[in-house]
């Protein structure tokens, strides 16, 4: 099973960062890596609930077919654990006709208060075989940069 781990120190409280992960309008602003755009289709913040989201590739990006449709990666995330201001665990499935993207992956976010801010760690486990771990890691690093810009 493939996995990745990214951490970033962000000059914001764990509460502010937790809110950025649990507010659908805010999530759509920062979670899409790079120049991608995000759209949350529905949102249910509770264990057993979750959200459906699309990430859209910019028109300028060539040679990047989406996992779901042309220039779109759509996925469903189901919350398996929510500990306010500390931890978010979700099981993610891409909406894709390709079975190599269909495996359920786990995204675990931990927030640890440190002097002057929060250490945010995102671990992905069971990354679908069609996703290169280095691409997942680069996308996560980009999203964390956007999160920092939004919350700081």
Task: Name the β-bridge partners of 122.
Answer: 6, 109
The tally of domains found in the chain comes to 1
Contact 95, 75 (CB under 8 A): yes
Q: What CATH number has the domain bearing residue 77?
A: 3.30.530.20
- Whether this prediction's pTM lies above 0.85 is answered by yes
Give yes or no for residue 34 having a pLDDT over 90.
Answer: no
Q: What is the pLDDT of residues 121-130, one digit of tens each?
A: 999 999 999 9
CB of 3 closer than 8 Å to CB of 143: no
Give the residue numbers spanning the domain of 115.
2-151
Evaluate whether 150 touches 31 at the Cβ level (below 8 Å): no
């Amino acid at each position: 099973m493939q996995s990745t781990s990214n951490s970033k120190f962000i000059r914001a409280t764990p509460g502010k960062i937790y809110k950025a992960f649990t507010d659908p309008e805010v999530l759509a602003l920062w979670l899409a890596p790079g120049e991608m755009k995000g759209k949350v289709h529905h949102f249910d913040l509770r264990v057993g609930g979750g959200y459906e989201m699309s990430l859209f590739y910019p028109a300028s990006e060539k040679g990047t077919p989406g996992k779901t449709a042309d220039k779109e990666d759509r996925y469903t995330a189901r919350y398996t654990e929510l500990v306010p201001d500390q931890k978010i665990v979700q099981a993610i499935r891409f909406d894709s006709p390709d079975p190599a993207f269909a495996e359920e992956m786990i995204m675990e976010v931990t927030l640890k208060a440190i002097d002057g801010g929060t250490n945010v760690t995102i671990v992905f486990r069971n990354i679908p075989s069609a996703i290169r771990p280095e691409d997942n890691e680069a996308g996560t690093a980009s999203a964390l940069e956007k999160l920092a810009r939004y919350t700081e």
